Amino acid sequence: MTGPEIEGSLAGAPADDVVAVAATCKARILEREGIAMFLALHDARPGRALRITDETVLAEGRRLADLFDHYRSGLAVAALDAALRDAAVEGDATDATPADLDPTGAAELIDILVVLSDQHLRARPESSSNGDS
């Protein structure tokens, strides 16, 4: 499929240059732009679990998981490159705790979700015929 209807959707093709997409996402102005995110649903009640039975949602979930793998792999390669670069530079000692350095506690996962969601959820009204409907 091609065309504006699948842009910004799970039906769209995954981005080839994941690192470039990640760089674009980093440049977004978080304080005034809408940041799209695919989030997980979890049932944290004791003894409970969420079991989706809706086939349409399950099919979307499988596609989402495949796309997640694609972006995870792409970012893992980039992270390895960055780690190799950092290893060649002596860093400064710091008193910062892990929570100070990553207050979200999920930096790696968030990076994947941001890129995935930018490509398959972020609004693209400029390319749509019904963006103002």
Partner 1 sequence: MSITTPDTQRTAFSSGAFLRVVNWHNTPEAERATLRSELAWYASRYDPVRPEDLDRLFDTGRWHGTKPGFIPSFYDGYLNNFTVAAPVCDELGLTAWFFPPTGFLSVPADEQRAYADAHDIDLVDEERHQTTLAMTWEHVEVISRRHVIAGHTAHHTQARHVVTGQDADREVLTPVRQIEEVTGRRPPAFAWLYGTPFDRDSAAGRALLDAGIRYAVSNTAYQRIAD
Catalog residues that contact partner 1 under the rule CB under 8 A. 8-9, 30-45, 48, 50-54, 56-58, 60-62, 64-65, 68-69, 72, 99, 103-106, 108-110, 112-113, 121, 123-125, 128, 130-133
Query: In which element (H, E) is residue 126 found?
Result: none
Which residue matches tokens 């997980």?
40
**Least separation, in Å, of the C-beta of 17 and partner 1?**
20
The torsion region of residue 105 among left (phi > 0), alpha (psi -120 to 50) and beta comes to: left
**Dist CA 67 CA 12 (whole Å):** 10
Nearer to partner 1 among residue 89 and residue 104 (C-beta): 104
Nearer to partner 1 among residue 71 and residue 90 (C-beta): 71
**Least separation, in Å, of the C-beta of 88 and partner 1?**
27
**Dist CA 44 CA 114 (whole Å):** 24
**Least separation, in Å, of the C-beta of 76 and partner 1?**
9
Nearer to partner 1 among residue 91 and residue 105 (C-beta): 105
Q: Are 72 and 113 in contact (CB under 8 A)?
A: no
Nearer to partner 1 among residue 15 and residue 117 (C-beta): 117
**What's the one-letter identity of residue 7?**
E
